[in-house]
């Protein structure tokens, strides 16, 4: 093995150990950008980039499963992508259809009990791709181990428009009343419907651009999810890049938990010296956090803040 390979393996092991035993995101969404630029960089036809990118997607599925991530959403084809040439669109549609067909017979799908769902307006897709997508959904519809959501013919603004139209029609037919509309109502009318796509915890974008491109605005923005932007084009995306993204989520999650615990301590301090058990009890009601993690955060806050230290009765 080369020196570069040894160093890479060591760094990958270091990252894996760093994120071990820490919370992982339940729902990761990925903007897989850079396929065409990757092909251009290597002097190859654009469709080579799409084929290599599809291979990367399979690897990420494996990495996600290994870490215990419940939901993975991949941005496979946006509404803006319809502006590309017919030749490129047909190549992409053919490739995606092949991957759907492969999912149906892949033993990993059934061993993991992976449910496949298409997110988007599939009526805009060619019949052959619609058939492959619906077949994958049908084959896996009873699975609930992990979820693969494939965003096809998807645009975040269009999703909200379509949801508004659905609710408008339901109001018109008496199925829904205006006064009953709330966040859950909107969620239940988004793709793929029935509120089955939870809030996003982490968005990853490859290719160097730091924007989320009209991707899952309702599911991501309302949850104030973490975002990880990286330079590698999608076909170049490595496991160390994925682990770095998870680390970014964990860092943000730790800061969020720390801020919540700190506010609880300050609130309880108005009633006298703060009991550690009270902080633990209240913290676990607001955020899903182990008792040991609350104690760790309290020690961290006390160490760096003398005022905070004096508030707490150990």
Residues with a catalytic annotation lie at: 33, 81
Alpha helices in the chain (DSSP H): 3-19, 35-41, 46-67, 86-105, 107-111, 127-140, 156-172, 183-187, 217-221, 239-269, 276-286, 291-304, 306-311
The one-character DSSP state at 123 is: G
Nearest to 195, CA basis, from 233, 227, 222? 222
Nearest to 49, CA basis, from 73, 28, 74, 32? 32
CA distance 155 to 153: 7
Chain-centroid distance, C-alpha 15? 20
Helix (H, G, I), strand (E, B) or coil at 68: coil
Q: Do the bridges between strand 27-31 and strand 202-205 make them parallel or antiparallel, or are there none, so unpaired? A: parallel
CA distance 242 to 60: 8
How many other C-beta atoms can be found within 10 angstroms of the C-beta atom of residue 126?
A: 12
Nearest to 247, CA basis, from 226, 221, 264, 233? 226
Cβ atoms 240, 11 nearer than 8 A? yes
Specify burial of residue 51 (Cβ count, 10 A radius: 0-12, 13-18, 19+).
middle
From residue 139, how far is each of 102, 107, 291 by CA, in Å? 12, 13, 41
């Amino acid at each position: 093995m080369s020196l570069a390979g040894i160093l890479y393996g060591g760094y990958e092991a270091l990252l894996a150990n760093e994120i071990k035993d820490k919370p992982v995101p339940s729902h990761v969404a990925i903007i897989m950008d850079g396929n065409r630029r990757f092909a251009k960089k290597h002097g190859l036809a654009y469709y080579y980039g799409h084929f290599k990118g599809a291979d990367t997607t399979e690897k990420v599925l494996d990495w996600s499963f290994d870490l215990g991530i419940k939901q993975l959403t991949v941005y496979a084809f946006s509404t803006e992508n319809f502006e590309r040439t017919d030749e490129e669109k047909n190549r992409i549609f053919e490739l995606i259809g092949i991957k759907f067909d492969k999912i149906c017979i892949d033993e990993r799908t059934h061993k993991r009990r992976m449910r496949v769902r298409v997110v988007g307006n599939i009526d805009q897709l060619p019949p052959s791709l619609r058939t492959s997508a619906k077949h994958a959904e049908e084959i896996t519809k009873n699975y609930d181990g992990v979820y693969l959501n494939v965003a096809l013919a998807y645009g975040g603004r269009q999703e909200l428009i379509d949801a508004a139209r659905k609710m408008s029609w339901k109001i018109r037919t008496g199925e829904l009343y205006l006064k009953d509309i709330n966040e859950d109502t909107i969620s239940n009318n988004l793709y793929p419907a029935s509120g089955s796509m939870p809030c996003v915890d982490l968005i990853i974008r490859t290719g160097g651009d730091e924007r989320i491109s009209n991707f899952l605005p309702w599911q991501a923005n309302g949850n104030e999810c973490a975002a990880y932007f990286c330079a590698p084009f999608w076909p170049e995306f490595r496991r160390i890049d994925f682990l770095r993204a998870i680390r970014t989520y964990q860092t943000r999650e730790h800061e969020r938990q720390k801020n919540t615990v700190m506010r609880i301590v300050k609130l309880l301090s108005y009633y006298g010296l703060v009991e550690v058990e009270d902080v633990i009890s209240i913290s676990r009601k607001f955020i899903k956090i182990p008792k040991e993690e609350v104690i760790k955060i309290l020690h961290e806050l006390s160490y760096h803040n003398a005022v905070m230290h004096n508030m707490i009765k150990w």
